[in-house]
Amino acid sequence: MRKTVATLLLLVFCLAAGAQSVVEKMSLEEKARCVVGFKRALWPPTNNGIPGRTTPLPACGIPSLVLADGTAGVRLSRRGQERATAFPADITLASSWSTEVVREVGAAVGDEALAFGVDVMLAPGMNIIRNPLCGRIFEYFSEDPVITGKMGAAYIEGLQSRGIGGCAKHFTCNSQETNRGHNDVRIAEKALREIYLRGFEICVREAKPWTVMSSYNSVNGAPVQEQRHLLTDILRGEWGFDGAVMTDWSIVPHNTAAQLHAGNDLFMPGADHQVEAIISGVKDGTIAESDLDLACERIIALAEKCADKKPAAGPDLEAGRAVAHNAACESAVLLENNGMLPLSGGGRAALFGVRSYDLVARGAGAGFVVCPPVTQIYAAFRDKGIPTDEEIEDLYLKYVAFAEADIRLNEKIKVHIGLPLLPELALSKKLVESAAERDDYAVITLGRTSQEGTDRKLKDDYYLSDTEKALLGDVCEAFHARGKKVAVILNIAGIVETESWKSLPDAILNVWLPGQDGGAAVADLLFGKVNPSGRLAVTFPKDYFNVPGAEDFPYGDLSEGRNYDYTCYDEGCNVGYRHYLSSGVQPSYPFGYGLSYTEFKYSGAKVRTSSKKTVVSVTVTNSGAAAGKEAVGVYVASPDGIPELKAFAKTGLLAPGSSETLTFEIPADYLKTFNEGKNCWEKRRGRLNVLIGADPSDPKIKLTK
């Protein structure tokens, strides 16, 4: 609910004298309630599917702040009539390699948050994608900390430009969902600093988020929420964070005094026992009242920031749809293309796969968005005037209607906030062959969803199911036998195995979770209205057991012990592409990989260094026949070290023959390495190798500085 003018005026009046003076006048109980979330039973009626509010203290001029879920948009209650835009998921946005695109999405989410009376969005997710089976992988950006940090910063800058607080989460090492409340991450300090904290550091330094969320899990034997070293010494002391730290929504009991002293300012979702623990703790001396006062000051400062925004009449869902559509197009990654794409628009298409008729627009859990109707691939073909096989379409639409009713009425599949993935439909070879006789080409859409609270499995998830393998094999065999081509659309929440089947189709386009206008975006990409320009921000391994630390993850059913009670990050810094470059193991698709409908050349590369920064520039020229955009990465390595991404950008739309010079500024601190023995950051020794190009295994230019 929107705050009344009187409440806002009271807030402004009370804060005019400063947060410290307000706290000095508060009673101990008021202070305790200020830092503990508002009890759900006392919430006023609202249609928002909000997970929490702060406690209002009218006498102190402090309103209740609304905290909303949604890394892909504002999550509303499915029981109401309101709808919000479902934007592409974080893992999708990262593939754009464009902070401008992500900043635009953040601003659009902020606009809708304003309309729904939200103060803080609990987004973005910024944990490192350590393993492809992480259930929340779609809510995170990348296996690389620089992509993670820069994308997170851009998203938060967009949100906060609209007066909506951003929340960088989950700080830190929440890279698995199995036993997430108790799991202890055992990790070396170097890997913690250079991989798992670096993205948060970049985000904090560059975007200055108003809030950060401390994670459920433990690190090296102690709960993150009780570690002052992490939440105060590093986050505030080293990085200069001046916002509020809130806990993740409590699912396990904690030591309230230790949490407060560690640097948590807001206990969510809030309970009376926490209020009582704070009051008694201050009285018996186990809690320093100065810690409580400081937390109150930060909550008041947050309330002041949230009050400084313009009211909105209502969400502009058409504007949101346009932003979501553009982001989906910018983020699609063309993995294979044997001359099939772009399609000419002639001939009739056979659209196979349930996802062609029931697109997975967003994942489940906190990242699920109740949105207007999702545009479907089959409908997008029709809207473009492209004829499709009506018999195939009729079969799938009837199946989707039946399967949805069957699941709903028989409660066959339980999903934590969201929609279940309808099982793939098995087709007879005869049906496929008859379609191959009458149709000119085929498109198969394969899909995956995922959710918080549980991790993915290998069987029928990371690996294709038997039904999917049969569909893929039968369609390719039947159409190729008649000289006709087949494209595969990957509509996936996370990485899937591709090595065993990627040679079968003529083209593979990965659109991840593309948001509510995904079907229209797919059609624009297939028919060349948009030239794919996305690059992978995660590595696709040839097999799961090629993943670094594959055995150090709960890939099976567990209830105790290794990978449940504790997980060892023994791969250290060799996460993702760092592992593949150092080991020589070849992935199916490397980090930074992505094809285009045109070609690009690089020239005029320069590197300039100073004590404060390294500046790299390069000119990119479209040497092909179609307009397109090129994503560029800058990797830096010591003479005997692994190339590490330090900067990235994407050109504007370049017409054939046109050029653009990109300039990258890398702060000197981002080139340092962490010395565990001395417990400090150090400058790299010797001359540095600079690699320019999105794929570090195949750079366009190599320089030494």
- Provide the CA 128 distance to its chain's centre, in angstroms: 10
Q: How many CB atoms lie within 10 A of CB 317?
A: 17
Q: Which of 111, 144, 248, 474 is catalytic?
A: 248
Q: Letter for the amino acid at 676?
A: E
Q: Is the peptide bond before 656 cis (omega within 30 degrees of 0)?
A: no
CA nearest neighbour of 11 among 274, 269, 245, 309: 309
In the numeric block, the tokens 């410290």 are attached to 20
Q: Measured between alpha carbons, how far is 551 from 567 in angstroms, rounded to an integer? A: 10
CA nearest neighbour of 233 among 221, 241, 243, 222: 241
Identify whether the C-beta of residue 83 lies closer than 8 Å to the C-beta of residue 372. yes
Q: Letter for the amino acid at 2?
A: R
Identify whether the C-beta of residue 182 lies closer than 8 Å to the C-beta of residue 252. yes
Give the three-state DSSP class for 36.
strand
Q: Measured between alpha carbons, how far is 400 from 348 in angstroms, rounded to an integer? A: 22
Identify whether the C-beta of residue 78 lies closer than 8 Å to the C-beta of residue 368. no
Q: Measured between alpha carbons, how far is 202 from 150 in angstroms, rounded to an integer? A: 7
CA nearest neighbour of 576 among 609, 521, 604, 536: 536
Which pair of tokens denotes residue 438? 């009458």
Tell me if residue 248 is catalytic.
yes
- Give me Rg for the CA atoms of the chain: 25
Cα-based distances in Å from 118 to 52, 309, 413: 11, 11, 31
What number of helices (H) and strands (E) belong to the chain?
Answer: 19, 24
Identify whether the C-beta of residue 137 lies closer than 8 Å to the C-beta of residue 129. yes
- Provide the CA 225 distance to its chain's centre, in angstroms: 22
Burial 54-76 (b: 16+ CB within 10 A, else e): bbbbeebbbbbbbbbbbbbbbbb
CA nearest neighbour of 311 among 209, 160, 159, 162: 162
**3-state secondary structure string across 491-512:** ECCCCCCCCCCCCCCCEEEECC
- Provide the CA 402 distance to its chain's centre, in angstroms: 32
DSSP 8-state code for residue 434 = H
Strands 167-171 and 349-352 turn out to be unpaired
Angle between helix axes 466-480 and 429-438 (nearest 10 degrees) is 40
Q: How many CB atoms lie within 10 A of CB 188?
A: 15
Instruction: Give every strand in the sheet of 120-122, ordered side by side.
Output: 52-53, 66-69, 120-122
Name every residue whose Cβ is closer than 8 Å to that of residue 314 and which is 6 or more positions away in sequence.
115
Instruction: Give every strand in the sheet of 167-171, ordered side by side.
Output: 167-171, 211-214, 244-247
CA nearest neighbour of 488 among 526, 453, 524: 526
> Which residues are annotated as catalytic?
248
